[in-house]
Amino acid sequence: MTTTSSDIDETVYIVTDIETDGPSPLRNSMLSFASVAMNRRGDVLGEFETVLEPRSDRVPDPETMEWWKTEPEAYAAATTNPKAPEDAMADYVAWLEGFKARMAFASAPLIFDGTYMDHYLDQFANTRVFGGPGKQKRIFAGGCVDIYSLAGTIANTPHHNWTTRRVPDTWIGNQPHTHFAIDDARGFAHLLKRFFIVGGLAAKYRDLEIAEFGDGQNLRDELVDLIVLGKKTATCGSLAIYEEEGEPLPKVGEQFIVPNWQGQPKCIIKSTSLEVKRFDEIDEDFARAEGEGDLSFEYWRNAHIDFFTRNGGYSPDMKLVCERFEVVETFEQETTKE
C-alpha cells in the first residue's frame, strides 16, 4: 500500500480565460473574458462571461488582428454586445462577492490572463487579482494558480514544455480550445481538477486517465471502498453517454486512477475485459462482479435502472459498456488539514 497526501481545502478557484486585441494591457484592450468557479473536488459553483468595449486609450495590435481573421466565429463572440469596462468589471466583482469565500485566481498562463485581469480590476473596480499594499478592496487571496506551471511540474517535464496545449483532450474534458472564452475556461477548470487529483501520486501514475464512479458522494465513496476491498471488480456505463461526451472507451490493459468524492486517489485499477451488451443481456455473474448490495441480480437491476434513469435515461435495450478490472495498487490517504 502506498501513502499519498492530499490537502482538501475550502477555497473557491476562479478559473479564467480572456480574449484580447493584443498582447499588453498597457497598449491593447481586453475584448472578453469568462470565469468558472470551482472547488477542490472540481464541482462547478458558477460561471461568468462578458464582452467589453475596446478602450479608447488603447489601440489594436496589427498582428493579433490578422490572427483574429482566422477565427471569425470566436472573434464575433468576443465583440458582440460589449459593455463599458467599468460596468463589466463591476458586474464581475458583484458575482465574485456572492461566493463569500476565500478565492484564488487561476489561469493559463497566469502571466497573460492574470496581468490583463489585474490591470482591468485595478483601473475600473478598485481591486486587483494579485493584491498588494494599499487600501484597495481585497477579493482574491494572495496566491494565484498558474495552470501552465502545474502542467509542467506535475508532468515532470522541462520548463520549455510547460504548456497546456499538448495535453490529451480527456484532460480538458474533451472541450476543444476554441478561443470562445467560456469554452476555454471550462477546459482549464477541468484540467485544474485533474491536477488536484494526481498531484500527490508517483510520477508513473500521473498520466493515467481518471475513472470516477457513481453520481453522488455517498454512492461514489461506497463504490470506491468496494473496489479497494476487492469486492467490486466490474462496472458498466451507457454507451450513448460515452459517445455524447466524446469519451474514448477503456482499453484492455489500460490503467486508471480512482478517486473518492473528495478527489483523493484511492487506488489504481487495470481493465481486464470489455464488452458492449444490451442492458437486458447482463447476466447474474456480471451483476455479482459489480459487488453492490446483496450481490443479487435483482439488486443490480433495480439499482442500475435508477442510476441510468437519472443520468440520461433507461431502456431495456440500451447498450452498456461492460468492463471488468483488477486493483493494481491502493493508497492510504493522509492530510495535513487539522
- Report which DSSP code applies to 247: P
Q: Which of the residues in the chain have pLDDT under 70? A: 1-8, 165-166, 333-338
The ranges assigned to domains in the chain are 2-202, 209-334
For 12-34, give one letter per residue: b (16+ CB within 10 A) or e. Answer: bbbbbbbbbbbeebeebbbbbbb
Q: What is the pLDDT of residue 47?
A: 98
Evaluated on CA atoms 303, 309, 312, 317, the torsion sign reads positive
Distance between CA atoms of 195 and 242, rounded to whole angstroms?
23
Q: What is the pLDDT of residues 237-251, one digit of tens each?
A: 999 999 998 888 999
- For the structural domain made of 209-334, what CATH number should be given? 3.10.400.10
Q: What is the pLDDT of residue 336?
A: 35
Least Cα distance to 32 among 11, 46, 14, 53 occurs for 53
- Report which DSSP code applies to 22: S
Q: What is the pLDDT of residue 100?
A: 92
Q: What is the pLDDT of residue 332?
A: 76
Q: Which CATH number fits domain 2-202: 3.30.930.10, 3.30.420.10, 3.40.50.300, 3.30.360.10?
A: 3.30.420.10
Helix (H, G, I), strand (E, B) or coil at 222: helix
User: SS3 letters for 52-108?
Assistant: ECCCCCCCCCHHHHHHHCCCHHHHHHHHCCCECHHHHHHHHHHHHHCCCCCEEEEEC
Q: What is the pLDDT of residue 141?
A: 87
- For 101, phi then psi, to 5°, come to -150, 170
Q: What is the pLDDT of residue 6?
A: 45
Q: What is the pLDDT of residue 8?
A: 59
Q: What is the pLDDT of residue 333?
A: 56
Torsion over CA of 143, 120, 137 and 45, rounded to 10 degrees?
-60
pTM of the entire structure? 0.86
Evaluated on CA atoms 166, 169, 170, 176, the torsion sign reads positive
Place of cell 490537502: 7
Residues found in the chain: 338
